[in-house]
Every structure is written in C-alpha cells, then in structure tokens.
C-alpha cells in the first residue's frame, strides 16, 4: 500500500446552519470561499451566537487525509497550528482518526473556518487563516517527502505562490505522484495563469467540481475534463447529483451518483478525493477509484460536517473490498 502525504491549511471548522437571508445580509456569495480577518470572524460568530455549532478539525487536505486513514490507508498531514486550545483540539482530532501529524508550531492563533450552511446544503466558507497562513517555503524540504508515494495539496494554498510551487516541485523531484484539488471557483479565477503553469509542470491528478472546472476552462463538464486531462495524467470533474467524469488519456468514464439526502455538502469533494487516492494507493483502476470516491462523498452529504460514524466507514470499507461490479448496485447513470 502506498503512503499519502497531505499539505494544507490546518483549520478547525465551525459549522453553522443559516438562512439565505443571512448570506445576503453578510454580502457573501453562496458557495464561495472568503478570507477574513479575526475581527470579521468574531463578528460572524457573534451574529450566530445562539445557533447550534459543530466543531471539527477541518481544512480541505486535512479532511482528505483523515478520510484516507479511516479507509485503512497510511496517511500523514503537514500544517501549522498555534499554541492554543483550538490547536490542541485539532491535533488530537487528527491523531485519534489515525493520521500521522507533522504539525509545525506558530506564534499566531490557530486558524478556523466558519462554514455557513444554507437549507439546500450549499456551504459558504469564511476563513480566518491564522497560524495556517504562517507556513513558509522554508518549512518544506526534500526530506519532507521521504517515505511517501502520493502528495496531495489543496488549491487554497494557491494564495501563497512561493509555498505551493516549492512544495509541488520538491514532491516531483522526490518521485511522488502529485494530486491537486482546485478547492474553490473564485480561487481558480484569481490565480488562473499561475495555476495552469503549475498543473503543466508538476501535477499528475486534478480534482475539480463543475464550477471550478468552468472557471479554469470555460467549458461544460465533459469538455472540461477532456481539456484538463491533456495537462496531467488524470482529470476528475464532479457534477454533484449527476456524478463525475474521470479521464486518463483516451480512457473516459462517467460515474453516476449514489442516492443521498443532502443535508450538508461540506467535505463532499474532500472525501471524493480521499476515496480516489486510497484506490490509487491500492493500485485499483481509475473507474474503481472513482466509485470509492463517489461512495464516500455520497455518505458525507447525509450528515452535518465531515466526520462519518464508524459504522459508515465499516460499510464503505466492506464495499471497497468487493469486486468492481458493485457499481451496478449503487450508482445511477
């Protein structure tokens, strides 16, 4: 089994269920990722002080790595945390889920992400990066990648051009297979040319949802996955209830979605990536990898947050061990 190393923003997610009106009054585009300062973070939390909150260790790459560990994979995570209660909670949460933590210290407060979930399950991110933004290129060395086979990084790291480029370059120099999740359509749009250059030079597998792929290629999903696949080894475009498209060279699949009642779409893309990368770590073909990713994503939207109960992971692990043909029983084309 191959080992997966993830790098990303170490953020504790604070999940809140809100109304469409709340988003409008806060002037937040639904489904977007918004970088905020600590003052704005406190204002948002005070606005919803009476709303029930769920707190979990989050961040896109961290979610993916934790899910790989839950699937039985070997996974580690690099991030930065402050010396505070939130940082201690974050580290403990990852470790209890079987993740090897390669956490670096910072003098800043630990970062957090307030996730505003509307009744349709869509989520809008308000991110105070804090210590997570304290990661610097000097923190990453060739030795960082020793002992790992796959390197996964979140697109939110595109905000730090020097860091992400060094991390991807060193990972490739050390022979790792490099995976990038595009993360958010507005991040893609703001960093388009730089992102395209990174993918051409260093990236083997690209994960995108429909909005992110459109921001990158200005094409509908089927054409978008074909275009992205010309820049890398494997391209994936997820289309929500319509499933996903996966392409490697001339090998193309449409994987239907599983039937789910969407309560909260937070983490769906992260868990899709986890299932896919875990499949790759087991040397499965790309169709089966996509099926595992689809199954994990379909289960996580049925809960609030990204932490599936043990019995659900047991189900996913059991199905993963079965013959590839289980797709005919679970997936709707």
Report pLDDT digits (tens) over 5-38.
999 999 998 889 999 999 999 999 998 889 899 8
Give the lowest-confidence range in 30-39, 56-65, 72-81, 318-327.
318-327
pTM: 0.86
Rg (CA), the chain: 18
Give the lowest-confidence range in 101-110, 121-130, 211-220, 223-232.
121-130
- Residue 77 CA to residue 5 CA, distance in Å, equals 6
Mean pLDDT of the chain: 91
Q: Could you tell me the two tokens for 221? A: 């999903």
pLDDT band at 42 (very low <50, low <70, confident <90, very high): confident
pLDDT band at 329 (very low <50, low <70, confident <90, very high): very low
pLDDT of residue 131: 95
Q: Could you tell me the two tokens for 114? A: 């307030």
pLDDT of residue 153: 98
For the chain, give the longest Cα–Cα distance. 53
pLDDT of residue 305: 66
Average pLDDT in the 148-168 region?
A: 96
193 compared with 257, residue with greater pLDDT: 193
Give the lowest-confidence range in 28-42, 64-78, 302-316.
302-316
Q: Could you tell me the two tokens for 96? A: 């209890």
- Residue 227 CA to residue 235 CA, distance in Å, equals 9
pLDDT of residue 323: 43
Average pLDDT in the 180-205 region?
A: 96
For the cut 70, the answer to whether the pLDDT of residue 246 exceeds it is yes
Strands 234-238 and 205-209: parallel
Distances 164 to 9, 38, 98 between C-alpha atoms, Å = 12, 24, 26
**Contact 328/319 with Cβ under 8 angstroms?**
no
How many CB atoms are located within 10 Å of the residue 4 CB?
Answer: 27
Q: Which residues contact 69 (CB under 8 A, 6 or more apart)?
A: 75, 97, 98, 99
How many CB atoms are located within 10 Å of the residue 318 CB?
Answer: 10
pLDDT band at 258 (very low <50, low <70, confident <90, very high): confident
Question: What does the pLDDT look like over 133-145, one tens digit per residue?
Answer: 999 999 999 999 9
Environment class of 283 (CB within 10 Å of its CB; exposed 0-12, middle 13-18, buried 19+): exposed
Strands 33-35 and 234-238: unpaired
- Measure CA 189 to chain center: 18
Strands 244-248 and 251-255: antiparallel
- Residue 230 CA to residue 289 CA, distance in Å, equals 20
- Helix (H) or strand (E) holding 282, with range, is none
**Contact 331/255 with Cβ under 8 angstroms?**
yes
Domains located in the chain, CATH noted:
3-11+58-111+128-330 (3.40.1190.20)
Distances 15 to 9, 33, 126, 228, 267 between C-alpha atoms, Å = 17, 14, 11, 32, 12
Locate tokens 């090897």: which residue?
100
- Residue 62 CA to residue 211 CA, distance in Å, equals 22
């Amino acid at each position: 089994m191959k080992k997966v190393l993830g790098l990303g923003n170490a953020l504790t997610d604070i999940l809140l269920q809100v109304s469409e009106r709340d988003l409008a009054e806060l002037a937040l585009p639904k489904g977007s990722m918004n970088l905020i300062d600590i003052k704005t973070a406190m204002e948002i939390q005070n606005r919803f002080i009476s709303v029930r909150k769920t707190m979990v260790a989050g961040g896109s790459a961290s979610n993916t790595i934790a899910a790989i560990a839950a699937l039985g994979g070997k996974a580690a995570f690099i991030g930065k945390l402050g010396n505070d209660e939130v940082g201690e909670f974050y580290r403990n949460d990852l470790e209890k889920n079987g993740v090897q933590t390669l956490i670096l210290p910072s003098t800043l407060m630990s970062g957090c992400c307030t996730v505003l979930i509307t009744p349709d399950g869509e989520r809008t991110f308000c991110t105070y990066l804090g210590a997570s933004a304290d990661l610097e290129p000097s923190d990453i060395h060739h030795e960082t990648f020793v002992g790992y086979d796959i390197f996964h990084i979140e697109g939110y790291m595109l905000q730090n051009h020097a860091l992400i480029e060094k991390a991807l370059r060193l990972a490739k120099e050390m022979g790792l297979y490099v995976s990038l999740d595009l993360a958010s359509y507005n991040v893609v749009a703001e960093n388009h040319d730089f992102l395209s250059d990174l993918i051409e030079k260093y990236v083997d597998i690209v994960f995108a949802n429909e909005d992110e792929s459109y921001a990158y290629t200005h094409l509908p999903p089927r054409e978008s996955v074909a275009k992205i696949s010309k820049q890398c080894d494997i391209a994936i475009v997820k289309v929500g209830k319509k499933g996903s498209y996966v392409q490697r060279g001339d090998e193309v699949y449409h994987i239907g979605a599983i039937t789910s009642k969407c309560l909260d779409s937070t983490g769906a893309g992260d868990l899709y990536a986890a299932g896919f990368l875990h499949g790759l770590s087991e040397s499965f073909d790309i169709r089966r990898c996509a099926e595992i990713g689809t199954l994990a994503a379909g289960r996580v939207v049925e809960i609030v947050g990204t932490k599936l109960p043990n019995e659900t992971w047991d189900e996913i692990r059991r199905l993963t061990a079965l013959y590839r043909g289980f797709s005919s029983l679970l997936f709707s084309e």
